[in-house]
Structure 1
Amino acid sequence: MTKVISLTSIVDDTYDAYATYEELEIFTKAIQRWDINCPDQLPDCMKLCYSELLKVFKDMEDLMSEQGKSYRVQLAKEAMKQVCQAYFVEAKWLHEHYMPTVEEYLSVAFVSTCYPMLTIVSFVGMEDSITKETFTWAFNTPKILRASTIICRLMDDVVSHQFEQEREHVPSAVECYTKQYGVSAQEAYDEFYKRINNAWKDMNEAFLKPTVVPTSALNRILNLTRVIDLLYKDEDAYTRVGDSAKTSITALLIDPISI
């Protein structure tokens, strides 16, 4: 899980800031093929990233094959392909100077949060109660997972969009909303915080109603969402780690309260 998150961050930065549009087109097609021989066709700057990404999933596959669960990794690969395809759509918007509607933006950005993919990856090594049906459930974006992506996308965009727009960057939900409705950034923030609060209610509801999947699967989604709440509460502490995030992480992992 940690390796996937780390490599996804590198892939995200590649699409977001470092590669040309033409390079991204080649890279995205290579990801869709998922072929270890593809690096020969990639720009030199992308070969290592591509190879390491495939290697991480191959290591996962080797481990899960011993347990007869290699299908889980195949599904995780498909989720990763979806992420890269979403990244490329955003790169195309930037390349064409296209401003999507907020609905169009969110339909893509919910995938590019990586939370649907990370949810799938988090299921890969879990107990036998996690079945093929659990993965199918997750791929169909249940209410709790959609709520998680709403929280992730909107919290991220609210605190990071001003810094990101200082350079060429795909418009965030804030720019899309203000452009579409002719309102101020503050009015967009107010609307998004309402949506975030409603999304937390949807997440709570999922734990109060009967569910077709184990509670352990719901807990993975909840805990991933808690990470976002920590990192994007008042600032983009994932991109630029400040004192607030350091204090919270120290309190959580180094100096926890004794029970």
Structure 2
Amino acid sequence: MLPGLMQRTVQGYFSEAKWLKEGYIPTFEEYISLAAETSAVELITSVAFLGMDDIATKEDFNWISTNPKIINAARLIGRLMGDIGSHKFEQKRGHIPSAVECYMKQHGVSEEEAVEAIMEHVANAWTDVNEEMLKPTAISMSLLERVLNYSRVAHILYKDGYDAFTEAYKLKDQVVLLLKDPVPLQE
């Protein structure tokens, strides 16, 4: 399963490289479709499950490949938040168009309007994550929490339109708060 997920991710990167080379700006929907593959959420989730061998079963790994709603939502949150936070920097260094540029071109809107519309997609994705966390599933809550935590991290790294993945110093205040007022761990 993991080799197949890795292969799909790499094939997605190859398609993005072709877009860049050709100067192609896809529609927002085309972009989102490919971004779902290159977000690597299924791959990251599978790797996280590997570390939980006492909990994760073969059925749980198979569940990931069934395209569950929560995985799709995590893809959108990660990719769209990342695009909003990093698109200006990425365009300066020569990168494929982000969701922001794709949306702007397709709909003929300003950057601000594109970001606003994309944030609606993010809000809808969060609704999907919350719904999936509240309803019983075939996999354990411990495993679902891995997908939830991926979404949380992506949201924090790119919230307020900045890219704390590339510029980690932007998380300094949050890290200081954790050290000053540590969050108690559950046992």
Is 1:197 the equivalent of 2:84?
no
SS class of match (1:232): helix
1:221-232 matches, within 5 Å, as: 221-232=147-158
The residue aligned with 2:18 is: 92
One-letter amino acid of the counterpart of residue 167, structure 2? R
Alignment gaps of 5+ in structure 2: none
Q: Which runs of structure 2 are paired with 1:39-78 in the superposition (5 Å)? A: 75-78=1-4
- Identity over aligned residues, as a percent? 48
Q: Which has the higher contact order (CA 8 A, sep 6+)?
A: 2
Aligned equivalents of 1:257 and 1:207: distance in 2?
22
| Deviation of the 1:208 alpha carbon | 1.4
Q: Which residue of 1 aligns with 2:47?
A: 121
CA deviation digits over 1:52-101, x for unaligned, max 9?
A: xxxxxxxxxxxxxxxxxxxxxxx223222221111111001001111111
**Compared CA separation, residues 98 and 222, structure 1 to 2 (3 A):** same
1:63 equivalent in structure 2: none
Q: 1:181 to 1:216 in 2, by over 3 A?
A: same
Change (3 A) 1:133 1:112: same
Q: Deviations over 1:136-162 (max 9, x none)?
A: 111122101111111111111111111
- Report the equivalent of 2:91: 165
Query: In the TM superposition, what is the alpha-carbon distance from 1:213 to its structure 2 partner?
Result: 1.0
Q: CA deviation at 1:253?
A: 5.5
Tell me which residue corresponds to 2:8.
Answer: 82
Verify: 1:208 aligned to 2:134, yes or no.
Answer: yes
Shift of 1:209: 1.1
Rounded to whole Å, the distance in 2 between the matches of 1:249 and 1:118 is 23
Instruction: After superposition, give the CA deviation of every residue in 1:150-208 in whole Å (9 maximum; x if it has no partner).
Output: 11111111111111111321010111111111111111111111111111111111121
The equivalent of 2:165 in structure 1 is 238
**How many angstroms apart in 2 are the aligned matches of 1:113 and 1:212?**
24
How many pairs align?
Answer: 184
Moved more, 122-131 or 195-204: 122-131
What is aligned with 1:136? 62
Q: CA RMSD in A?
A: 1.7
Q: Normalising to structure 2: TM-score of the pair? A: 0.91
